[in-house]
Each structure stands twice: as structure tokens, then as C-alpha cells.
């Protein structure tokens, strides 16, 4: 009987290690799943706000067209940029299309400075206010998405979760970043 006592102790220690290790694997796996889903939810909010923005733009363009029909090039660039945004796939393509649309919109809004009657038009002001509110929503949604990506990517890079992530083929997620040169003020010429 004395021979079996050390075996039971060894088996007990092994079982304890497996239980603790197994719960660590399960906990890490579940955390990755939860954070990955949170990122998808945050990305959905980014897309919803970008869609709201894209839906407002035709109304804004039509209002400005009535006052500034000779600004055809700007209207075409907005239409092209809007189409790219609506058809964008993935974070990088969406970010690039968003930046292009932002540049086109800033040129459109700059036109209002040249047309005082447009600036005083109630419909234009309302659309401009809605667009500004939507821009704030987009910025907030992008920040929340990037925060969720940071938490997830940090967990993915930490030991031992990085090993578990590799086993289950989890991948790092992309940030929604501004493209090169997006800090530069766009040039508007009349």
C-alpha cells in the first residue's frame, strides 16, 4: 500500500496541472472569441455611421447644386468617392475610401463660402449640421473600434495566449487608420 501512495500523489499533481492548464486554455480561448466579436460589433457601428454619412451626401449635393451648378468637378468627385465608400471591402479599403470622401466633402463645404445665399439656406444648414453630427459619430465609432482592436491585439501578443491563438488560428485585426497625408488641409480653388 505504501507503494501506491506516491503514485496517487503524482497522479493528483498531474490532474491538478491539467485542470489548471485546461481552464487557462479555455479562458484564453473564450476571451479571444469575446473580444473578436466585440471588434465585429464595433466595426458594424463604423459601417452604420459611414452609411448614414453616405446617405446624407446626395441631399447636401443637390442643395448645393441649386446654388453652384458650375462646380461640376466637385460633384463628380463626391459621387465617385461615395461609390467607393459604399463598395469598400475591409478596413483598409474603407479607410481609404472614407478619406477620399472626406476630402471631397471639405471642398463641397468650402463652396458655401463663395455663395452667401447658400450659407443662409435653411435646408443647407440643416444638412450641414446633420453631416457634422454624423462625422462626430463616425469619429467616435472609429475610436471605439480601434480601442477594441487594441485590447484584442494586445491579448493576442501576450504569453500564453499567443500560443493558444496560434493553435486556434486567431489573427491580429487591422486598425482603422487615416491614410498618409490626411492631416494636410485640402486645397480648394474656384
Average pLDDT, the chain: 80
Give the DSSP per-residue string, the chain: -TTHHHHHHHHHHHHHHHHHHHHHHHHHHHHHHHHHHHHHHHHHHHHHHHHHHHHHHHHHHHHHHHH-TT-HHHHHHHHHHHHHHHH--HHHHHHHHHHHHHHHHHHHHHHHHH-HHHHH-HHHHHHHHHHHHHHHHHHHHHHHHHHHHHHHHHHHHSTTHHHHHHHTT--PPPP--PPTTTTSPPP---
In whole angstroms, give the CA distance from residue 163 to residue 108: 50
Of 36-45, 104-113, 159-168, least confident by mean pLDDT is 104-113
Chain segment 134-149, per-residue pLDDT in tens: 888 988 999 999 999 9
| Residue 23 confidence (pLDDT) | 65
Chain segment 57-116, per-residue pLDDT in tens: 888 877 777 766 656 777 788 888 888 888 888 888 888 888 888 888 887 777 777 777
Amino acid at each position: 500500500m505504501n507503494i501506491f501512495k506516491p503514485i496517487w500523489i503524482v497522479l493528483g499533481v498531474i490532474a491538478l496541472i491539467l485542470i489548471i492548464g485546461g481552464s487557462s486554455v479555455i479562458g484564453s480561448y473564450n476571451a479571444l472569441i469575446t473580444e473578436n466579436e466585440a471588434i465585429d460589433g464595433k466595426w458594424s457601428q463604423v459601417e452604420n455611421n459611414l452609411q448614414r454619412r453616405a446617405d446624407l451626401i446626395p441631399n447636401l449635393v443637390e442643395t448645393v447644386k441649386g446654388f453652384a451648378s458650375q462646380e461640376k468637378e466637385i460633384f463628380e468627385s463626391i459621387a465617385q468617392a461615395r461609390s467607393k465608400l459604399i463598395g469598400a471591402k475591409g478596413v483598409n479599403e474603407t479607410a481609404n475610401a472614407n478619406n477620399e470622401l472626406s476630402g471631397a466633402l471639405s471642398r463641397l463645404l468650402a463652396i458655401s463660402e463663395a455663395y452667401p445665399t447658400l450659407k443662409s439656406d435653411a435646408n443647407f444648414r440643416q444638412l450641414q449640421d446633420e453631416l457634422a453630427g454624423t462625422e462626430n459619430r463616425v469619429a467616435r465609432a472609429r475610436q471605439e473600434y480601434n480601442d477594441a482592436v487594441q485590447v484584442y491585439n494586445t491579448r493576442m501578443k501576450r504569453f500564453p495566449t499567443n500560443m493558444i491563438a496560434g493553435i486556434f488560428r486567431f489573427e491580429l485585426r487591422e486598425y482603422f487608420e487615416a491614410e498618409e497625408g490626411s492631416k494636410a488641409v485640402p486645397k480648394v480653388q474656384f
